[in-house]
Amino acid sequence: MPDTSTTLSLVDKLDAARTASIALAQAPTAQKNAGLEAIAAAVESGAASILPANELDLANGRENGLSTGLQDRLRLDEARLAGLAAATREIIALPDPVGGVVRGSTLPNGLQLTQVRVPFGVVGAIYEARPNVTIDIAALALKSGNAVVLRGGSAAENTNRVLVELIQGALASVGLPADAVQTIDEFGREGATQLMGARGYVDVLIPRGSAQLIDTVVRESKVPVIETGAGVVHLFLDRSADLDMATAIAVNSKVQRPSVCNALETLLVDADAAERLLPPVLAALADNGVTIHADERTRQLYPDAVPATDDDWATEHMSLDLSVKVVEGLDEALEHIRRYSTHHTESIVTDDIRTANRFLAEVDSAVVMVNAATRFTDGGEFGFGAEVGISTQKLHARGPMGLPELTSTKWIVRGDGQVRG
């Protein structure tokens, strides 16, 4: 396939995406699934072109001072490519949302009303240093009948260019429009600005990345935005928490992959259990390389911690750093979460059903957990195959966004000559 990325203007690409979306919205499920299989196969067979491009991006990132957390998100290897291919194939097995009936009725005059799911049309995505998002969004958009326009950021530009070329080839191989997936990375920040103003070309815009990036898109976009959020994620250890469970959940939530948005950032511990829980839990975290940023009461029990600053409570570390605070019971924990949470994910470890139920009822986040690691807030873990992002807003979609969240609805009305009197 010829590379047209340097000859097409941004408007040309938006026009092509809009045209492709019309055909894609009518594509049968079998053809879309064939496209997904072709994408998965292209990711598996394309390592020889993907990984060198990714290494070039990583080298540029190291030279430009890209943070360790973003370098981890940027990095692809054989195992991660296999995971992306597997996630794409999982989407094949999921129900096609397009045409699904939400509700319906027959009016007294005989008019038949049916509300059905339809694609948005053209979905724009702005993200940074996350080439996995290129595959995830393209695959979910394909199954839900949407075209996508991707602005993946300069940090992953080489990787994303190769991935999009492979995706476009895969689509063309099964008779789907290659223009259904576009990258506008070559237009730089100006391209992102134009995408945010592309009302009439783009139906919805989804930002994924830092709090600063998301805030910029929400404030400046003229296109409707589904807001995904940074993850200042909390875990509260209640006075009744089992020590072994608390330790396992805290370590897994923080350590398993610290650079992602569902990783633990702040640990809150009930004062009545601090002496019992804090030293062993924090020692286990430290054994896994975690640096503890703690308030004074925590440091009295765990002197190896560094003093926490006021900024630490609002920080998404995206690294092996953890903010820790002792609180006076559930009330103070809830107050702290209300003040500092980004409404992404919060969890509690408790053996008290009333405390658990109150935590579930009062915490206003997209995902609220009891006795579970925060790392489960993920589209793949929720059975969605992949995710477009984790929405922290309250309109249309909230939490991990899969196929249904990439659809809107329309009303189908069937009559036999009815007129309104």
Mean pLDDT computed over every residue of the chain: 94
- The whole-number pLDDT of residue 302 equals 96
pLDDT value, residue 264: 98
For residue 243, is it within any domain? Answer: yes
Same domain as 179, residue 35: yes
**Looking at the domain assignment, is residue 420 inside a domain?**
no
Of 93-107, 344-358, 394-408, the poorest mean pLDDT is in: 394-408
Question: Are both 371 and 405 inside the same structural domain?
Answer: no
The reported pLDDT for the residue numbered 238 is 98
Helix axes 188-196, 10-25, angle to 10 degrees: 50
* pTM metric for this prediction: 0.84
What's the confidence (pLDDT) of residue 1? 41
Say whether both 47 and 121 belong to one domain.
yes
Rounded to an integer, the average pLDDT of 65-78 is 91
pLDDT, tens digit (0-9, with 9 covering 90-100), for 303-330: 999 999 999 999 999 899 999 999 999 9
Task: Flag whether pLDDT at 274 surpasses 90.
Answer: yes
Same domain, 129 and 87: yes
Q: Which residues contact 290 (CB under 8 A, 6 or more apart)?
A: 254, 255, 320, 321, 322
Q: Domain residues for 78?
A: 10-226+401-414
> Which CATH number is 42's domain given?
3.40.605.10
Query: From CA 341, how far away is CA 318, in angstroms rounded?
Result: 15
Query: Model confidence at 79, in pLDDT bands (50, 70, 90)?
Result: very high
Return the number of other C-beta atoms located less than 10 Å from residue 45's C-beta. Answer: 13
313 lies in the same domain as 410: no
Task: Decide if 5 is inside a domain.
Answer: no
**Is the residue at 405 inside a domain?**
yes
Structure tokens at 260: 């992602």
Do 348 and 251 lie in one domain? The reply is yes
| % of the chain beyond a pLDDT of 90 | 87
The domain that holds 369 is classified in CATH as: 3.40.309.10
- Stronger pLDDT, 148 or 3, i.e. the higher one: 148
What's the structural domain count of the chain?
2
Give φ, ψ of 24 to 5 degrees: -65, -35
Say yes or no: 216 and 260 in one domain: no
| Pair 200, 221 in one domain | yes
**Per-residue pLDDT reduced to its tens digit, 222-234:** 999 998 878 899 9
Mean pLDDT computed over 164-193: 96
Domain membership flag for residue 389: no
Q: What is the pLDDT of residues 81-140, one digit of tens each?
A: 999 999 999 999 999 999 999 999 999 999 999 999 999 999 999 998 889 999 999 999
Q: Evaluate whether 62 touches 109 at the Cβ level (below 8 Å).
A: no
Q: What is the pLDDT of residue 109?
A: 96
Asked whether residue 291 falls in the same domain as residue 210, the answer is no
**pLDDT of res. 276:** 98
Indicate if the pLDDT at residue 4 is higher than 50. Answer: no
Q: Is 390 part of a structural domain of the chain?
A: no
- pLDDT reading at 385 higher than 80: no
What is the number of alpha carbons within 13 Å of residue 123 lying toward its C-beta? Answer: 29
Q: Residues 237, 222: one domain?
A: no
With respect to residue 383, please indicate whether it lies within any of the assigned structural domains. no
Statement to judge: residues 192 and 245 lie in one domain: no
Q: Is pLDDT above 90 for 2?
A: no
Residue 388 is assigned to a structural domain of this protein: no
Domain identity same for 128 and 249 = no
Residue 310: strand, helix, or coil: helix
